[in-house]
């Protein structure tokens, strides 16, 4: 929670939006998830063909900020210009990802990276994710200071619940590359 507040303050100060810090912190709504990824298990003697992989497909997070902590088993990969980069972190550190809501709120100033999880080794991976969302009923909308002729509004105001419902719907699955843009892009 403190780290979330600290980072949001730093980001807003950087954008010259100190006057919006209280508003952004006020709408905060945290969610927590614990994930257990199973290590590859060999189901017959043939290592080449019978290794099962666990993981998570490429996606962007819909929320504002995501904090990820894991055991000693790596697996997170971030896509940078089409290339998958391994994120190797120690169990004592966090990875912080910025999500689609922050991208929309900053009218595109912040990027929400595509990431996935691939487990290749035999060891299980455990990760804890803390997601900062906005409260139900709140519409995420870029402040007017970030919208002008040179920077037209990129996303329609949206509510987190609507976004979550959309990305898990048929239409959302049909637009997996950028479901967020398909939902509220202008
Ligand atoms: O387990 C991880 O490292 C990442 C999980 C993730 O990307 C997610 O839950 O959105
Ligand atoms: Fe994610």
CA 132, CA 26: separation in Å to the nearest integer?
12
Phi and psi at residue 28, to the nearest 5°: -65, 140
Bridge partners (DSSP) of residue 155 are 185
What is the Å distance from ligand 2's center to 151 Cα?
Answer: 27
Atom of ligand 1 nearest to the CA of 127: 1
- pLDDT category of residue 148 using cuts at 50, 70 and 90: very high
- Which atom of ligand 1 is found nearest the CA of 68? 3
Spacing, Cα 57 to ligand 2 middle (Å):
9
Q: Please give the model's pTM, rounded to 2 decimal places.
A: 0.90
Q: Is the CB of 125 under 6 A from ligand 1?
A: no
Burial of 128 (0-12, 13-18, 19+ CB in 10 A): middle
Tens digits of per-residue pLDDT, 18-31?
999 999 999 999 99
DSSP reduced 3-state for 68: strand
Strand order through the sheet with 76-80: 54-59, 115-119, 76-80, 83-86
Q: What is the pLDDT of residues 39-59, one digit of tens each?
A: 875 544 455 555 556 788 899
């Amino acid at each position: 929670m403190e780290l979330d507040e600290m980072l949001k303050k730093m980001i807003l100060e950087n954008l010259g939006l100190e006057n919006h810090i209280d508003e952004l912190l006020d709408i905060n709504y945290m969610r927590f998830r614990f994930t257990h990824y199973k290590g590859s298990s060999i189901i017959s003697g043939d290592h080449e063909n019978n290794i099962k992989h666990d993981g998570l497909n490429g996606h962007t997070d819909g929320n504002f900020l995501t904090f990820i902590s894991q055991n000693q088993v790596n697996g997170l990969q971030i896509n940078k210009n089409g290339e998958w980069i391994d994120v190797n972190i120690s169990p004592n550190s966090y990875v912080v990802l910025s999500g689609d809501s922050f991208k929309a709120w900053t009218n595109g100033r912040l990027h929400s990276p595509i990431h996935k999880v691939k487990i290749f080794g035999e060891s299980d991976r455990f990760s804890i994710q803390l997601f900062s969302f906005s409260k139900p009923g709140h519409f995420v909308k870029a402040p007017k200071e970030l919208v002008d002729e040179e920077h037209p509004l990129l996303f329609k105001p949206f509510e987190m619940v609507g976004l979550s419902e959309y990305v898990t719907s048929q239409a959302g699955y049909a637009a997996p590359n950028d479901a967020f843009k398909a939902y509220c892009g202008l």
